[in-house]
Structure 1
Amino acid sequence: MWTALNLSAADDSNLTGADPRRPQELDHRSLKVSIIVALGVMITLGNVAVLLVITSSVAGWSRNSRYLLLSLTAADSAFALLVMPLNLWVSLLKDYTEGPDVLCHLVAFCNATVYSTCMYTLATISLERYVAVLYPLQYSTLLTRRRTLLLIAFAWGFPPCLLSPITFPDSIIEVHFSAASLVCNPSYSTNMGYSLSLTCFIFFPCSLVMTYANLRVWCAAKMQRLRLRQYDCARRSRHNVASRVLVPVMAAYYACWTPCMAVMIYNAVTGSTVPEWVEFVVVWLPTSNGFLNCIFYFWINRSFRRKFHLVLQRLTLALCPKLADALGCCSAAETQFVSGIMDNNNSVHERSASVSSTCTLLSLA
C-alpha cells in the first residue's frame, strides 16, 4: 500500500511538473537576489555621492583627472544601474529549462562590455597617474585634453567592438542563463579560443599596465621618503600616502577580478563547471570593485571629503533649512563664501602641488 501511494505521488509530481529540488532552488535564489540588491544599493549610493562632488571642482584635482574619474564613476554605476537590473529581470522572466535566446545574448553583451570598460578605465587612470608623477614637466604635453578624451573613448568604444559577436544568437558564441549565478553567460567551455582571447585582450593587458604604473609610482614615493629622511624631514613629511592608496587599489583589483578570470579559463580548458556558490561569488565579485573604487579613489582623499561635506551642507540648506539650523550648519551666505574660496583656489592648489612634486622628483634625479 505504501508503495502504491509513493508511486501515485511520484506520478502526480510528474504530471504537474513539480520538481523536488525547486523549494531549495527558490530559497537559494531569494538569498542570491537579496545579496545582489544590497550590493547594487551600496554601489549606487557610493557613486551618487561621488558624482555630486566631482561634477564640481575639487582642490588638487586636474581637469584630466576629473574626466577619468567621471568615466570610472560612470562605469561603476553601470554595474548597479544596468548589469544588475538586466540580469535580475531575465532571472524573473526566464525559466531555468529554456535554452538561449536573443534577450540573453543582449544581456551577456552588456555584462561583458561594462566589465571590460571598467578594467580599461582603471588602467587608464593608472597610466595618467604614472605620467603625472614621473613626468610632471611633460604632463601637459603628453596628456592633453584631446588625448585624455581619446583614451576615455577607447575605454568605452573598444569593448563593444571586441564583444560584438556575443549579440548574434547564431554566431559561434553560445550564451545560456546560469541558475547558479543568475547571469547570462557566454559558454566559454565550447569556445575556448574566444574566451582565451578575451582574457588576453582585456584582463592581462589592463593588469600589466596597472601593475607596472602603480609599482613605478610606489617606488618613486618610497625613494622620496628615503631622501627626506636623509635631511631629517621625515617628521614634517606626510604619511605614506602611496602605500595607503596604491596597495589597497591593486589588492582590491586582483581580489575582485582574478577569481572570475581564473574560473573562465578553467571552464574553457577543462570544459567543466565549478560549484554553484563558487560560480555565484566569482561572477558577482567584480561588481563589488565598483563600490571599493569609491573608497580607495575618493573617500581617502581629504579634499574630496571636505568638498562632500560642503555639498551635503548645500543640499541640506536647499531641501530642509529647518534641519540645517537644528544641526548647526552654516548659513547659505557662509557656505557660498567658503565654496567660492575653495573653487577659486583650486588652480593655486594644483600649481603648488605640481611645483612641489616637480622639485622633489628633480632632486631625486
Structure 2
Amino acid sequence: MMSDINVSIASPDVDLNVTDLQRTLEAHRPIKIGIISVLGVMITLGNIAVVMVIASAVSGWSRNSRYFLLSLTGADSAFGLLIMPLNLCVSFMKEYNKGPDPFCHVVAFFNATIYSTCMYTLATISLERYIAVFYPLKYSTVLTRRRALLLISFAWIFPPLLLVPISFPAGIIEVYFSRASLVCNPMYSSNVTYSLTLTCFIFFPCSAIMTFCNLRLWIAAKRQRLKLRRHSWGGGYRPKVALRVLVPVMTVYYTCWTPCMVIMLYNAISGSGVPEWIEFIAVWLPTSNGFLNCIFYFWINRSFRRKFHLVLQRLCLGLCPGSDSDSGCFNSVESSVIPGWNGNNSLHERFSSVSSTFALLMLMPHQTNMREPEPA
C-alpha cells in the first residue's frame, strides 16, 4: 500500500520533468537548426570551390592525388548536400514517436555511411602521402592508377555493405530520432556486438592508419628541419610547412571524431544517453571536419590558391566580357588577389605544394638519389 502511494506521488513529478525537458528541447531546436544550416552552407560553398579548382590540373599534384582529393571532396560535400537536408527534413516532418520509422532507418543508414566513407577517405589520403614520401622511386609501381581507384572504390563501397542492416526497420539494430541532436541515430545499446564491430572496422583502423602515416611524416619533416638548421641552409621553408599541415590535420581529426565515437561506445555499453548539448555537439562535430578539410588540404596550399584565383579571373572576365587583359576586372583581380604572380612561376609551384606529400618528397634527397646542396 505504501509503495502504491509513493508511486502515485512521484508520478506527477516524473511527468513534470519530462514535460520540462520536452519544452527545453523545443526551445533550443531553432538555434540548433540555425547552426546546422550555417554549417551546411559553409561546407557546400567550400567544397564547390574545391571542385572548381581540382577538376583541372593543379601544379604539384599528381593524378592519383587529385583522385583521392576529389573523393574526399565528394564525401565532405555529402555532409552539406545530403546528411543535413535529410535530418532537417525528419526534424520538420516526423512525429516524435518511439515506434519503427522506415524513413528514419534510411536516413540513419546514409548518416553512418557518409561518416564512415569520410574516415576511410582520410585514411587512404594519409596512406598515399606516406607511399609518395618514403617510397618515391617505387610510387608509380606500388600505387598505380588502378590500385588508387580500387582504394577509393573500397572507401565508398565497403561502408554501405557493413552498415546496410541499419536501413531495415526490422533489422538487427533499432533506430530512433534524437530530439537532442536532430539526427536519426542507431540505438547502439540494442545490439552491442554489432556496435562494437562497427568501431573495430571503421574508426579504429582508420585512426591507426592516419596516426602511423602522419606521425612518420611529421618525424621525417622534423628531422629534415633540424638538418637544414644545423647546416645553416636557407631552405627550411618546406619542413615548416609540412609540420604546420600535419599537426592541425591530426588534431582536427581526433577533435571532430573522438567525441562521437566515445558517445557511441558509451551508449552501446551503458544504454544511457548524455546531456542534450553534449550530444548535439558530438554528433555534428564530424560534419565540421568536412569544412576544415577544405582549409587544411586545399586552402593552405599555394598552388591551390593561385589556381582558385585564376578561376576567379575567368569568372570575372565572364561577367565583364568587354574588358581585356590590360584593363577592367582582370587587372583588379590580378593586382589584388595574386600580386607579383606571372605564368613563369608555374614550374616553381610544381615544387612548392603545401601538401605534405610533395613538400616532404622534395626534402628527402637520400631516397631520391639527389645530391644535397653545399652549405653557403
| TM-score, normalised with respect to structure 2 | 0.84
Residue 365 of structure 2 is aligned with which of 337, 346, 359?
A: 359
Secondary structure, aligned partner of 2:237: coil
Is contact 2:72–2:122 with CA below 8 Å preserved after alignment?
yes
Question: Which residues of 2 match residues 101-116 of structure 1 at below 5 A?
Answer: 101-116=101-116
Deviations 1:239-263 (A, max 9, x none): 5112100000000000000000000
Residues 227 and 364, structure 1, Cα contact 8 Å, conserved in 2: no
Give yes or no for the alignment of 1:152 onto 2:158: no
Report the CA distance between 1:222 and its aligned residue.
Answer: 1.4
Deviation per CA, 1:93-131: give whole Å up to 9, x if none. 101235221101100000000000000000000000000
Tell me, yes or no, if structure 1 residue 65 matches structure 2 residue 65.
Answer: yes
The letter for the 2-side match of 1:136 is: P
2:298 maps to 1:298: yes
- Report the AA paired with residue 238 of structure 1: Y
CA contact (8 A) 1:100 1:175 kept: yes
Give the superposition deviation at 1:168: 1.1
Unaligned 5+ segments in structure 2 are 1-18, 372-376
The one-letter amino acid of 2:111's match is N
The answer (yes or no) to whether the contact 2:245–2:296 under 8 Å persists in 1 is yes
- For 1:339 and 1:363, the matched residues in 2 are separated by 31
Q: Give runs of aligned pairs for residues 1-365 of structure 1, distance below 5 A.
A: 24-233=24-233, 235-239=234-238, 240-321=240-321, 325=328, 328-329=331-332, 356-357=362-363, 359-361=365-367
Native 8 Å contact 1:100 1:177 kept in 2: no
Q: Residue type of the partner of 1:328?
A: N
Task: Give, in angstroms, the shift of residue 63 of structure 1.
Answer: 0.3
Q: Percent identity?
A: 64
How far 1:220 sits from its partner (Å)?
Answer: 1.1
Task: Read off the aligned partner of 2:104 and give its amino acid letter.
Answer: C
- Alignment length, in residue pairs? 341
Shift of 1:189: 1.3
Are the structure 2 counterparts of residues 256 and 104 from structure 1 closer, same or farther at C-alpha, using a change threshold of 3 Å?
same
Offset of residue 343 of structure 1 = 7.6
Q: 1:341 to 1:57 in 2, by over 3 A?
A: farther
After superposition, the Cα gap between the structure-2 partners of 1:362 and 1:97, relative to the gap in structure 1 and judged at 3 Å, is same
- Structure 1's 347 and 200: CA in aligned 2 closer, same or farther, altered over 3 A? same
* TM-score when normalising by structure 1: 0.86
**Aligned partner of residue 328 in structure 1, secondary structure:** helix
Deviation readout 1:232-287 (Å, 9 max, x if unpaired): 21x33215112100000000000000000000000111111001111111001100
Paired position in structure 2 for 1:8? none
Q: CA RMSD in A?
A: 2.8
The 3 A distance-change label for structure 1 pair 165 and 22 is closer
Separation in 1, partners of 2:246, 2:370: 21
Quick check: 1:54–1:70 contact (8 Å CA) kept in 2?
A: yes
Please report how far the alpha carbon of residue 157 of structure 1 lies from its aligned counterpart in structure 2 after TM superposition.
0.3
Q: Is the 8 A contact 2:303 2:349 kept in 1?
A: no
Secondary structure in structure 1 of the residue aligned to 2:123: helix
